Every structure is written in structure tokens, then in C-alpha cells.
Amino acid sequence: MTVITRFAPSPTGQLHVGNIRTALHNWLWARKHGGRFVLRIDDTDAERSEERFVEAIRRDLGWLGLVPDGEERQSARFALYEARFENLRAAGRVYPAYETAQELDLKRKIQLGRGLPPIYDRAALALTDADRAQYAAQGIAPHWRFRLDHDAPIEWDDLIRGPQHFDPATMSDPVVRRADGSWLYMLPSAIDDAEMAISHVVRGEDHVSNTALQLQMFAALGAPPPAFAHEALLTGSEGKLSKRLGSLGVDAFREAGIEPEAVRALLARIGTSDSVEPIVEADALVDTFDFARFGRAPARFDEEELRALNTRIVHQLPYDRVAGALPAGMDAAGWETVRPNLTRIADAADWWHVVEGPVAATEFDPDDRAFLAEAHRIAGTIDWAGDPWHALTGDLKAATGRKGKPLFLPLRRALTGRDSGPDMAQLLPLIGRERALERLAIN
């Protein structure tokens, strides 16, 4: 079997972190099995779908490195849906219903008052041709429901949740088409999964009941169903479902200086039995990805954990990966020098300013001023083509008797304007002889 997964967002807004996690897991599963990852734009809702969101979805997936192997648009597949709908109608698996939203709400309240489950009573199945003709004469168009087979128990072995069982008699026949002819999510999705030969559907656990209904749709369409994996939903660091997670997306990550490698590394592992690690290469995440490692407890998304992970990721990134984001003039040696001190790539500009100057002036006591005057003298005599830092500090130690912090700290302050930072043995050659002499000449 060829593994084919799909990510099927509606272009009605920006992707949020939950969507991104779903896309990543579909991509990882396809890559693990040498299969295909398809982007399906679910744009059947013409009023709410916007092309700018389609472009944003593509851009966000590209930033994350989740490049689809193909793309489909539901708005281009209406003829297919119409043909399959007509087949189902001819087979009696979809039927017209005429209740208003208010009438259905009243029915539910009555059923609840009687201690009955609030499911649709299938009253529309009792309508005669004359009844339907009367509705048509009044200009009332029907909505359409999919008729569940109450004699066919719904069962599947979920890749995460294990064996699942639903009694269709306890479920309402789902509305699949509105009175204006527009489609709801359920039937077009099942038709597309069948026609596109989707082998695995990976989505949130809030879709479990939809899967139960869609399994009967697959049967009615004469199509084998895909395998299903329903993941626990993300929660915020406080342990509750967070509204912020609904707005946290790629734009927010970029603004915060979070790299795509960090997003992938975190979202690939939270909710699993595997530890979150600063894994830069996607192939390493692919190799260890397995739905058997997922638990049913909510997956906790912690922004602080993401920021800490991002720092560890940045410390591994090679120069070629970051060159386009670095300040003008910073080469590979400069990047490797400042990289251990960064939490974000953008922070490299601060350290490059330390190299190129000017640096903040520091007040020194008389002893340190005398010490730095000697440092200035010695700096003019050492060989700058080799290891100037150790040459400078070695000669200074011999000339002044200083060692440890009294030796190194005044030098760092004079040369960088800071008390801490990158390894001076790497930083001083970047500063160079002329700038170093200028900074040491404090008198």
C-alpha cells in the first residue's frame, strides 16, 4: 500500500499551532513510509474562504519545510461531489428534510425533557411525494441528510485510541448539504479521501464522532476507508485549553525569533513517550515518528519550552543555514564565535556591533587604568596573525602578576563594553588589531 496523507485546512483564517501540528504529523508519517503528503484546500465555503489565506497556508508550510507532494482544491471538485451525491440519492442513502433550525431545536428540547438522546427522529423519511411537492410549491428547498445504517455497528482500530465502537442508532443522520446547495464538511471530505486514495487520516480527537459517521459514507460510496489516527488536543502550559493556542501561528513564531526547526522538534514529540530534543534535521524526526508512541492525555504546549528549545537549536545551526539573516559583514567565523551566546539568530547583530564598534565606554579605577595602559603597549607588540588573545594575556600576566578575573575582566570590558560574552580567543581576532588598540587606549 502506498501511504498517502493529507492536510486539509479551510482557508478562512491563519494556521494556528494545532493545525501546524496536524500538518507536521501527516508529513512525517508520509515521509517515514516513502509516501505522499497532499495539501487539500477545503474551500467549499465560498463566503468565508479567501485566497489570501490559501497563500498564507502555502507560505507557512514552506517556512516549516513541509512541502506538499501535490495540491487539490475542493472548489474545483464540485462536479465529482454532485455525481457521488446523485448515486447516493438514487440508492436512498441521502434524503431531503425540511425542518427549520427552530423546529429542530424544539425537538431536541422535547427529547431531553423526556430523558431521550437528542438525535434526529427521521421524520423526513415519512414524507410522501405529495408532501415534498407541497414544500416545493411553497418555494421551500430541502437540506439533505445521510441515512445511517442502524444495522451496521461502526468499529475501527484507531492508531492512537485503539478499538473504537459506535452504535449508529444513537447518532443523528448528519446533514451533508444545505438548502442552498452548498456542502457541509462531512461528505465531500469522505469523497475526496476515497478518490485521492488517502491511506491515513491524521487529525484531532474532536473528529472521532465524525469518523464514525464517515465510515458509513465510505461504505455507501463503495470505497475502502483509510486508517485513522485521532490525536489528543493541545493544551496550554496551564493545563487547560488555551485561547492563545488558537491564534499562535507562524507569524507569531517568526516575530519571536523562533526557528522552524524548533517548532518541528517540539510538535513532533509532545504528546508522545519520546523526550523533546533539539533535533535540527527533519530526517531524525521522521525515523522515530510512530503513532504507537502517542498517549491519550492532552498534549501540553509550553511556549517557554519552545523558546528554550529554540536556543539549543540556534546553537547548532550552520552558517549556510543562517547567512541570509545575519548582519552585513558577518562571515562563518563570526557566526561560529557568537552562536553559543544567542537565543535568537537576530541577536547576532548585537554581537556584531561589539565587533565593529563603537562599544560603550566603561569607567575604570586607577589600578585598572594602569593595567589597561600596559595591555595597550603589549597589544602593539604581539603577533596578531596567530592567537592574539592568549599572547596578550600571557604577556600581561608576566608583566603585571595579575591572573584570573582581575586579568580577564578589565580586558573584556575595555574590548567589548560588556562583562560577559563569546570566547575572547575567538572574538579578539574579529575585533582586530586597530580596533583593539583604539579600545585599550582609555587615557
Rounded Cα–Cα distance for residues 325 and 347 (Å): 10
- Which residues face 157 on adjacent strands? 163
Closest CA to 175 of 165, 194, 156, 188: 188
- The reported pLDDT for the residue numbered 82 is 98
Distances from the Cα of 25 to the Cα of 21, 260, 290, 320, angstroms: 6, 15, 10, 27
Burial code of 337-353, b = ≥16 C-beta within 10 A, e = fewer?
A: bbbebbeebebbeebbe
CB 318 within 8 A of CB 289: no
Residue 388 half-sphere exposure toward CB, CA atoms < 13 A: 24
> Can you tell me the distance from the alpha carbon of 127 to that of 97, in angstroms, rounded to the nearest whole number?
9
Check whether 439 has a pLDDT greater than 70: yes
pLDDT-derived band at 442 (thresholds 50, 70, 90) equals confident
315-340 pLDDT, tens per residue?
999 999 999 999 999 999 999 999 99
Residue at grid coordinates 600596559: 374
- Mean pLDDT rounded to a whole number for the chain: 95
Q: Name the pLDDT band for 247 (thresholds 50, 70, 90).
A: confident
DSSP letters for 65-128: T---SEEEEGGG-HHHHHHHHHHHHHTTSEEEE---HHHHHHHHHHHHHTT-------GGGG--
Q: What is the pTM of this model?
A: 0.91
Q: What is the pLDDT of residue 39?
A: 98
Residues in the chain: 443
Q: What is the DSSP string of 187-246?
A: HHHHHHHHHTT--EEEEEGGGHHHHHHHHHHHHHHT-PPPEEEEEPPEE-TTSS--GGGG
**Binding-site residue positions:** 243
Q: Tens digits of per-residue pLDDT, 71-110?
A: 999 999 999 999 999 999 999 999 999 999 999 999 999 9
Residue 166 in contact with residue 209, Cβ under 8 Å? yes
**C-alpha to C-alpha distance for 49 and 421, rounded to whole angstroms:** 49
**Helix, strand, coil % over all residues of the chain, rounded to 5:** 50, 10, 35
The domain segmentation of the chain, as residue ranges, is: 80-152+161-177, 319-356, 366-440
Fold of 80-152+161-177: Glutamyl-tRNA Synthetase; domain 3 (3.90.800)
Residues contributing to the annotated binding site for ATP: 243
Q: Find residue 4's DSSP bridge partners.
A: 36
Mean pLDDT of 45-51: 92
d(CA 37, CA 31): 8
Per residue in 182-214, pLDDT (tens digit) is 999 999 999 999 999 999 999 999 999 999 999
